[in-house]
């Protein structure tokens, strides 16, 4: 990568990261044995070999199965702490992470177990690693809106520990409109909202997330490029897109990194940010995404600086912290 030294030196944000997607095969096997569970793979190598996906759903099937080794509060702490150490190595100074409570409460794990373990690691990282963070509770869109309301009820005692809400999982057939009332309830509670949209789904889903869910960021959003009016709106409002290039290639949204529309989105004036999504499954952490895009797309120095600046602009840091980093 032509700008490798610059990329390593730049303080970076990560705004689209599923904590369950940072579960490396080694830790998955450790936690399985700690919890007396068996995995349907002989070893780490055969598990990794299964990470060849055709689309979003084929990935999600493995991602939910893998998450089943997470049982105790310490498991959630260890998962989160391992990610934060990795983030520090990539010179990430601020991270906004998703967790999917329904992935765990559906298996009988208490909401409190999940959030307490994650939160404790985030608090330790603030003090010990100098990494600031936000925590985003994400609803699974393949489940019903009623199930989302139940999850919101379970979250009520912990709202002071939750910085916002998101919407993820299988996109096609589960449009944002399905969650309009749930997101209105979250808004009434003062929670900022984001949603995955325009990853596999059409630009109409991005419009719905904006108009019906009143989101302040779009996660992925790469298919917005198919709708000129949407592109103009996103640029005019500096509505951030949290783009995840390695994820898009692994899930066949783009066939190769060199096909990715990141540069076109930037050139259209959009507030594009770079993120790793589910790095344990997609073959790279944040710095790998930067280095890979630099090499495959011939990014300029200005484009790289724009991407990192956009990350701070799009973050939920307060104005003083933004000013400090920008
Ligand atoms: C996800 Cl890449 C992606 N898309 C939608 N939902 C997700 N959950 C975890 N990773
Ligand atoms: Zn995602």
Q: Check if 96 is active-site.
A: no
Q: How far is the CA of 310 from the centre of ligand 2 (A)?
A: 18
Q: How far is the CA of 143 from the centre of ligand 2 (A)?
A: 16
Binding residue ranges for substrate = 278
Kindly report the CATH number assigned to the domain that includes residue 147.
3.20.20.140
Complex ipTM above 0.85?
A: yes
Using CA atoms, how far apart are residues 252 and 239, in angstroms rounded to an integer?
25
CA 152 to chain centre: 20
Domain annotation covers residue 186: yes
Q: How far is the CA of 253 from the centre of ligand 1 (A)?
A: 13
**DSSP tag of 153:** H
Strand segments, DSSP code E, in 4-142 are: 12-18, 92-99, 132-140
Q: How many domains does the chain have?
A: 1
pLDDT at 37 exceeding the cut of 90: yes
Distances (CA, A) of 65 to 16, 51, 56, 95: 21, 13, 14, 25
pLDDT digits (tens, 9 = 90+) for 268-322: 999 999 999 999 999 999 999 999 999 999 999 999 999 999 999 999 999 999 9
Domain annotation covers residue 16: no
Ramachandran area for residue 202 (φ above 0: left; ψ -120 to 50: alpha; else beta)? beta
Q: Which ligand is nearest to the CA of 99?
A: 1
Look at residue 50 in the predicted model and tell me its pLDDT: 98
pLDDT digits (tens, 9 = 90+) for 204-254: 999 999 999 999 999 999 999 999 999 999 999 999 999 999 999 999 999
247 Cβ inside 6 Å of ligand 1: yes
pLDDT at 326 exceeding the cut of 90: no
Look at residue 174 in the predicted model and tell me its pLDDT: 98
Give pTM, 2 decimals: 0.98
Distances (CA, A) of 215 to 31, 55, 182, 208, 282: 35, 25, 13, 10, 26
Domain annotation covers residue 1: no
Enclosing domain of residue 182: 21-315
Domain annotation covers residue 321: no
Catalytic-role residue among 199, 200, 208, 303: 199
The label of the residue with tokens 């991005």 reads 206
pLDDT digits (tens, 9 = 90+) for 61-78: 999 999 999 999 999 999
168 Cβ inside 6 Å of ligand 1: yes
Look at residue 214 in the predicted model and tell me its pLDDT: 98
Rg of the chain (C-alpha set): 18
Atom 6 in ligand 1: residue holding the nearest Cα:
169
Atom of ligand 1 nearest to the CA of 277: 2
Domain annotation covers residue 2: no
Mean pLDDT of the 47-74 span: 98
Domain annotation covers residue 8: no
115: how many CB neighbours lie within 10 A of its CB? 23
Atom 8 in ligand 1: residue holding the nearest Cα:
169
Look at residue 121 in the predicted model and tell me its pLDDT: 99
Q: What is the mean pLDDT of the chain?
A: 98
pLDDT at 167 exceeding the cut of 90: yes
Domain annotation covers residue 308: yes
Contacts of residue 182, defined as CB under 8 A and 6 or more positions apart, other chains included, come to: 139, 145, 148, 149, 152
Domain annotation covers residue 324: no
The label of the residue with tokens 């869910």 reads 213
pLDDT digits (tens, 9 = 90+) for 83-129: 999 999 999 999 999 999 999 999 999 999 999 999 999 999 999 99
The tokens describing 43, both together, are: 């070893």
**Cβ(226)–Cβ(197) under 8 Å?**
no
Atom 7 in ligand 1: residue holding the nearest Cα:
169
56 Cβ inside 6 Å of ligand 1: yes
């Amino acid at each position: 990568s032509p700008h490798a030294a610059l990329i390593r030196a730049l303080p970076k944000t990560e705004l689209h990261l599923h904590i369950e997607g940072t579960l490396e095969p080694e830790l998955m096997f450790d936690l399985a044995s700690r919890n007396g569970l068996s995995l349907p793979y002989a070893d780490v190598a055969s598990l990794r070999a299964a990470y060849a996906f055709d689309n979003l759903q084929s990935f999600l099937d493995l991602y939910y199965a893998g998450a089943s080794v997470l049982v105790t509060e310490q498991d959630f702490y260890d998962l989160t702490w391992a990610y934060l150490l990795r983030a520090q190595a990539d010179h990430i100074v601020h991270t906004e992470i998703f967790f999917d409570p329904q992935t765990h409460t559906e298996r009988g794990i208490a909401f409190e177990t999940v959030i307490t373990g994650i939160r404790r690691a985030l608090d330790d990282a603030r003090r010990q690693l100098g990494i600031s963070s936000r925590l985003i509770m994400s609803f699974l869109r393949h489940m019903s809106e009623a199930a989302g309301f139940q999850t919101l009820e379970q979250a009520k005692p912990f709202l002071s520990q939750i910085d916002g809400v998101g919407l993820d999982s299988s996109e096609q057939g589960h449009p944002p409109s399905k969650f309009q009332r749930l997101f209105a309830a979250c808004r009434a509670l003062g929670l900022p909202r984001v949603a995955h949209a325009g990853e596999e789904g059409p630009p109409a889903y991005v419009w719905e997330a904006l108009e019906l869910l009143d989101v302040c960021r779009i996660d992925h959003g790469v298919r917005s490029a198919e709708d000129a009016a949407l592109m103009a709106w996103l640029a005019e409002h500096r509505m951030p897109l949290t783009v995840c290039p390695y994820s898009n290639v692994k899930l066949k949204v783009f066939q190769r990194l060199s096909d990715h529309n990141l540069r076109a989105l930037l050139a259209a004036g959009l507030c594009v940010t770079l993120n790793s999504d589910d790095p344990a499954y997609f073959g790279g952490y944040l710095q790998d995404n930067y280095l890979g895009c630099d090499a495959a797309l011939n990014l300029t120095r200005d484009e790289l600086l724009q991407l990192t600046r956009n990350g701070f602009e799009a973050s939920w840091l307060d104005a003083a912290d933004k000013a400090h980093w920008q």
